């Protein structure tokens, strides 16, 4: 049985960045054209105001 991971080694910010990057990679790989800035913002959950 593997030993549990040391919680001191957990980097929540890095995990969040990896998740966002993964979402972009998946979205980009499913299209034949480049993602627009608006599409990238939507994927990343950016709220555009103004």
Where do the domains of the chain lie? 13-44
Residue with tokens 């913002």: 41
Share of the chain above pLDDT 90, in %: 68
Average pLDDT for 2-14: 83
Confidence of residue 40 (pLDDT cuts 50, 70, 90): very high
What is the tens place of the pLDDT at every residue in 10-26? 889 999 999 999 999 99
Position 16 scores a pLDDT of 95
Residue with tokens 């549990």: 4
Share of the chain above pLDDT 70, in %: 100
Show contacts of 2-9: CB within 8 Å, 24+ apart: none
For residue 7, pLDDT over 80 is answered with no
Residue-wise over 33-49: b if at least 16 C-beta within 10 A, else e?
A: eeeeeeeeeeeeeeeee
Rounded CA separation 9/31 (Å): 36
Which positions ≥6 away from 44 have C-beta within 8 Å? 20, 23, 24
């Amino acid at each position: 049985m593997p030993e549990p991971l040391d919680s001191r080694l957990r980097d929540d910010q890095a995990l969040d960045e990896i998740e966002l990057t993964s979402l972009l990679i998946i979205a980009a790989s499913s299209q034949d054209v480049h993602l627009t800035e608006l599409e990238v913002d939507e994927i990343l959950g950016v709220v555009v105001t103004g």
